[in-house]
Amino acid sequence: MKIFNVVCFCLVLIGCSESKNSVSKFDRLDKQLENSKTTNKNSLNLEATIKVIFTLDEAIKNVKDVQEYTEYLYKQDMTGVAPDVISSYQKLLPVLDNLYDAESEKEVGESVWTAFSEFGSVATVAVNSGIQITSGDVIGGSLNLAKAGADAMSLAGDRYEREIEVLKKIKKVKETYLEYVKFSSPIFLKYMTQWDKLCAQRDQAYISLYNSNYQKVVEFADTALELSPNDRESILLKGFALLSLNNDNTISNDEQKIIQFKEIETILASYFQQFPSSTAPAFVLKGILEYQKGEIENAFTSFDEASILYPKQSNALLDLVNIFKIRGSIFRSVESEFIVKTYMSTMEGFGNFSPNFQKAIIHRNLGNKPEAIEEIKRHFFRRGNQVVQDYLPGDLNFCNKYLPTVFSEMFVERPFVDIEVSEGSIIDPKNSLRVKMTNNSNRTIENVRLFLCIHFTDSYKDNYQVFKVPDALNSLAPYSEKDFEEPLEIIYEWLGNKKIVPEDIVKLRGVIITDDIVSWIDEKDFKFQTAKDRSQEYNKLKTDLPRELISVLEKSEISVDQGYVYNDIVFTVPKELINSEPYVTINDVNSINPIQSKSKQIDGQKLVYKFRTRVSVDNLKEIHIITKSGSLKIPIPKS
């Protein structure tokens, strides 16, 4: 992929000249680039170099004419970019000069640029050439590059043969274009090769972090830093891994811990100095370090600073996100998903790098549950202000894993609140969904914003795409249901295939965010399947309910009303059971004929489940209660 970007960029450039006379219109820009070369002579940054190669390549496709691209070059930050790469862009200036014509009509100028930006049609040849060069076959690769350049010119000539002015421009720069390919390609390929080696080590560090193998993270990050000593991501990865090793109590000797603290402090000090516009993740690490040292107030201050900086620094932090996305889409692997997700968490401030989650964990450890809940709310408020919802499921999973008790107490009524998602009506936009929400609890839910998280066919397990339901509900009263007024139109492609709903939906979950609640919210079928899965797991492990829950269930009541057509069964249990997320069926949930409740409600201090069935009472064996910590069966009394 990296080779593709570089060589593709080379092939979309049309000619250059070594004559200084031809850059007369671009003297100011040439001097600016020359100054950058001098400044960067002893401060090469591989990340900055690759970013410039990639972004200038992308700009070719996104701007409309020479003038706009020239302005883009003026504004491009060349700090840390390799001098020979900057020289390549100086070689580009005569090309721009030849393409520029202040007297020509606007339409002609834009047509010339369109031709200029479409030379990527020989990309396959160029990629193969790049692979030959990086594998050692410099002669074969270079010959193919030259052929690719000649082919590009011929294709452009054929395509625009009827547009005389455009064709004249293309022919004017033919020879110098081929010279440009020969000059620039080895330079770009050299740095892309270095980038390949760096990524190989850093990717393994990311995967090791995902697997919580912190010692391996340190080893791979160290190797990456040997290749590129000022690599921003490797510095952050190593810092977080060292802090995690401290937290895992792998270092028992106090003197060793002090030495490690000093190493982390040195790493962070270097990071703050090198990357002043991308300090948010470093402040998270600083806060974790201060907490480990017992400096709780200082830790809170660092976390608060990170919360402020993440939205402000988002552009600087995410300046490589497109490269990561392209790498992930080309590799098409679960591992590449892990890498992108971990990178995004570092640069967007979610998961382990959420300053609010880190504060919530500290408050939880100190026994301050209300403060911990408030920090969870602040995290989602900050993420909302960043206009980010892509990794919302990951945020909730983090809370479930590291803050389970605190998080579940935010919305204990969750088992009694459902969503129902159906296909849009005939008057709705094509490929849309309708959503209804039902509240079977005694709690009023206000200012309801709902996000649908959809797992589509062909995508990886637990890979959810997030869509915000257009409108919000001002209030959902107890024991009521309400439809969201606007349909949700689904526009999404995976691997080039447009996804159709509901046909392409494998699994669907909801996330509810209100002034007081952040929680998963699900359909009845999802809850039923979850209960079935839990029950099967408990049967394998022979897991029973904890003793304290059994004592609660001893206070339950079962009433049976036999009728001529239907039999009505009501199961009542104390509300204390609600924290364990109970699901109730008649007969084993995994039997051939489990009977689900017709209705469920929170009634004061009781949970009430009502069943109606034609099945004979003699064939109704038991009430089956499945919770998140075990299951139990209670025999149904016979008259």
Q: Is the pLDDT confidence value at 13 over 70?
A: no
For the segment 334-355, the average pLDDT, to the nearest whole number, is: 86
Q: Return d(Cα 54, Cα 323) in angstroms, integer.
A: 8
Handedness of CA 469, 472, 478, 483 (dihedral sign): negative
pTM of the predicted protein model:
0.81
Q: Which residues of 117-153 are buried (b: 16+ CB within 10 A; e: fewer)?
A: bbbbbbbebbbbbbbbbbeeeeeebbebbeebbebbb
Comparing 54-68, 76-90, 290-304, which segment has the lowest mean pLDDT? 54-68
- For residue 217, which of 228, 204, 226, 236 has the smallest C-alpha distance? 204
Confidence bin at 107 (pLDDT 50/70/90): low
- Whose tokens are 């020479």? That residue is 66
Q: Do domains 215-409 and 412-522 have the same CATH topology?
A: no
Confidence bin at 89 (pLDDT 50/70/90): confident
Q: Return d(Cα 385, Cα 400) in angstroms, integer.
A: 23
Could you read off the pLDDT of 519-534 as tens digits, one per residue?
999 999 999 999 999 9
**Whole-number pLDDT of residue 152:** 57
Comparing 92-101, 193-202, 246-255, which segment has the lowest mean pLDDT? 246-255
Confidence bin at 12 (pLDDT 50/70/90): very low
**Whole-number pLDDT of residue 146:** 56
Q: Return d(Cα 275, Cα 313) in angstroms, integer.
A: 11
**Looking at the domain 528-635, which fold is it?**
Immunoglobulin-like (2.60.40)
Could you read off the pLDDT of 135-166 as tens digits, one per residue?
555 455 555 655 665 565 565 555 555 566 66
- Whose tokens are 């029950």? That residue is 535
Domain extent listing, the chain: 2-195, 215-409, 412-522, 528-635
**Whole-number pLDDT of residue 158:** 57
- Options 3.40.720, 2.130.10, 2.60.40, 1.10.150; which CATH number does 412-522 get? 2.60.40
Confidence bin at 439 (pLDDT 50/70/90): very high
CATH superfamily assigned to domain 215-409:
Tetratricopeptide repeat domain (1.25.40.10)
Could you read off the pLDDT of 478-528 as tens digits, one per residue?
999 999 999 999 999 887 889 999 999 999 999 999 989 999 999 999 999
